[in-house]
Amino acid sequence: MPTPHNSASKGDIAKTVIMPGDPLRAKFIAENYLESPVCYNEVRGMFGYTGTYKGVRISVQGSGMGMPSMGIYSWELFNEYDVKNIIRTGTAGAISDGVNLRDVIIAMSASTNSAYASQYALPGTYAPTASWEILSKAVEVAEKKNITCHVGNILSSDTFYDDADSLSQWQKMGVLGIEMETAALYMNAARSGKNALCILTVSDCPLRNLSTSAKERQTSFRDMMEIALDTAANI
């Protein structure tokens, strides 16, 4: 059955979904990489497509910005549409001095300043982590493509414009970069008994005042897209 946010019917969406935050990046991936893509969702402009890539049925759908939006769309995909794997393809701001513009980060774990985990009433602090099956495959794909990836911890933040200067504190703890969705995705996957991974391209370096353009973020981060697609085709 369609949901309030997704007009797809059961069976319209593949078991593995590539999930950029930007719905226009979803459209770009579908039109440039999938064979015979069919648009299954346009509700709220959150485009979703299903096609084939190297003979494997794959879907691609936007998640929107922030953990509340990711929380809605990934929960519905896992629980209403029987999706097994979600691979987020997003952008991040580099925090680590060793990570530069356009580098690829594979998020092994996602620290967060969000209260998203409070819904589970856990007697401690939960550590959102990627699914090893997908993470290890993505690293293998990147190595075969000779794409250097940074694998480690990222920060999923609830704020884009932050009143406090906290990035240097996260940097001290070895956090590679900051974005806004992955912790919610990893928690939804864990709670649903499904698999998730986040692959990011560095779009800016906030501690060094470096950035890329909006158009570059939408269409030119192909290393990340191709790692995600080749991983999806082999899991």
133-192: pLDDT as tens digits? 999 999 999 999 999 899 999 999 999 888 777 899 999 999 999 999 999 999 999 999
Residue 91 pLDDT grade (very low, low, confident, very high; cuts 50, 70, 90): very high
Contacts of 73 (CB under 8 A, 6+ apart): 5, 6, 19, 46, 61, 62, 63, 64
Residue bearing the bigger pLDDT, 35 or 221: 35
Which CATH number fits the domain that encloses residue 158? 3.40.50.1580
Q: Per residue in 39-56, pLDDT tens?
A: 999 999 999 999 999 999
The stretch 30-35 carries a mean pLDDT of 97
Work out whether strand 48-53 and strand 35-41 pair parallel, antiparallel, or are unpaired.
antiparallel
Q: Is 204 annotated as catalytic? A: yes
Q: Which of 22, 204, 223, 230 is catalytic?
A: 204
In a domain, 3, yes or no: no
In a domain, 10, yes or no: no
Res 218: pLDDT:
63
pTM of the model: 0.95
- Cα separation, 20 vs 144, in Å, equals 23
Tell me the torsion sign for CA atoms 132, 136, 141, 146. Answer: positive
Give how many domains the chain has, as a whole number: 1
In a domain, 61, yes or no: yes
Res 49: pLDDT:
98
Res 76: pLDDT:
97
Res 84: pLDDT:
98
The stretch 68-73 carries a mean pLDDT of 98
Cα-based distances in Å from 93 to 70, 165, 174, 205, 225? 18, 14, 14, 5, 18
- Cα separation, 26 vs 218, in Å, equals 9
Can you give the residue range of the structural domain that contains 83? 16-232
The stretch 106-134 carries a mean pLDDT of 97
Residue bearing the bigger pLDDT, 163 or 74: 74
In a domain, 39, yes or no: yes
Task: Match 């009433």 to its residue by tokens.
Answer: 121
The stretch 191-202 carries a mean pLDDT of 97
- Cα separation, 50 vs 17, in Å, equals 9
Res 24: pLDDT:
94
